[in-house]
Structure formats: C-alpha cells, structure tokens
Amino acid sequence: MPDLATEKTEKANQGFSLIEMMIVIAVMMILGAITAPGLFNTISDINLRYSASNFGGLLQSARIQAVRKNTFYGVNPVALPSGDAGYYVDIPKSGAYANGDPLMPLGTALTVHPGIGSGAPNEGTFVAGLNFAVNPGGSAPNFNARGLPCIAAGNACPQTPGQGFVVFLSRSTVTGNVRWGAVAVSPSGRVQVWTSDSNGNWVQRD
C-alpha cells in the first residue's frame, strides 16, 4: 500500500506545472500593465520637481551674483556640445558659456517656457493666484544689484515696481503625458517652486 506522506512529498517536490507557471506569468504581466503607467508618472513627477528646484537654484545663483558684484545677472539659454539645451549664469559676462559658470542641462525630456502662454494646465488661475503682476514677456528674469527681478536693457536693468516673473517647465513622460512645474519670482525677488498634479492643481514646493 503506498505511503500517503511519501506521495505528498513527491508532489510537492515536483514544483509548479507549466500551466501554473503560465498563469502566474500572465497575472504578473497584467499587474505590471496596470501599475506601470502610475509608476512612470510618479518617477516623472519626481524628476520634474527636481528640475524645477534646480532651475530655481540657478535663478538664486544669478541673484546672489548680482548683489555680490553690484550689477545685474540673469539666466541664459545655451546649446551644449552634447546637443542638449541648457541654462547658465554668465559670470564673466562674456556672452558665452564657459567652464565654471553655473549651469543646468535640460536633457531631451524637459522644456522651459518663460513667461505666460505656456499651455500649462490652469495657467491663468495659477498666475492670478500669485498675487502679483507677471511680466508677459518670453524671457526669464534678471536680478539687479538689490536682488530684485528686472529686464536687462543694454547696460541697465530697470525694475517695474510690483512686477514679478514666472517660468514654466514641462517634462514629457514615456506614457505620452506631460507633467508641469513652474518657478515664480516675486517683485521682492523671492523664488518659489511649484508643480501641478494630474488634476491641474498647483502646489508650492519650496
């Protein structure tokens, strides 16, 4: 008479059958398809927040240099040797990027949109909620010797009283979505970092 305990042990040692393995793999693939878009969007949100903070930090560098050197500085777009775009602070005011200048590479997925009209979600509501007039031009701000945002004009950088700036940033995701952030500069020179959630609600991050 066969030993029942031995039979159970032998069956347990046989492991999964091919059909069982295929079922497990199919379930894992379904779960992966369900969770992957959310995971990719979360990663994109983290990258966007990091990029917005970096751009805000670059503006802060320009402001510090302006106050320290009693002149005006801003951030300037630059084409990098890698083919990517970037923004930098022209410390020697040479008109070109040089080693040692504060630099932020954008990569291929990130786009900077200075001024209003970027196409960001609920842009009008967001700008109105800043509670200061926003310069409508398509350029990032400069900072004068007092650390206030201004628009460079020749050798001067006059400030419009009560006027601030906003720069929007967009990052494309692998799922075809676009995530949005913004860096706002108040009339007093304070730099604020914002991001938009999937519902178009803006949240201040700094």
Q: What is the CATH number of domain 17-204?
A: 3.55.40.10
H or E segment to which residue 76 belongs: strand 76-79
Q: What distance lies between CA 29 and its chain's CA centroid? A: 31
* Each residue's pLDDT tens digit, 60-114: 999 999 999 999 999 999 998 888 889 999 999 999 999 899 999 988 788 999 9
Give the model's pLDDT for residue 31: 58
3-state helix, strand, coil in the chain (%, to 5): 35, 25, 40
- Please name every residue paired with 156 in a beta bridge, in sequence order, or none if there are none: 153
Q: What is the mean pLDDT of the chain?
A: 85
- How many Cβ atoms sit within 10 Å of the Cβ of residue 3? 9
Lowest mean pLDDT: which of 2-11, 28-37, 133-142?
2-11
Q: State the pLDDT confidence band at 149, using cuts at 50, 70 and 90.
A: very high
* Each residue's pLDDT tens digit, 164-201: 999 999 988 877 788 899 999 999 999 999 999 888 99
Give the model's pLDDT for residue 30: 65
Residue with tokens 């995971």: 39
Dist CA 184 CA 116 (whole Å): 11
Please report, rounded to a whole number, the percentage of residues in the chain having pLDDT higher than 70: 85
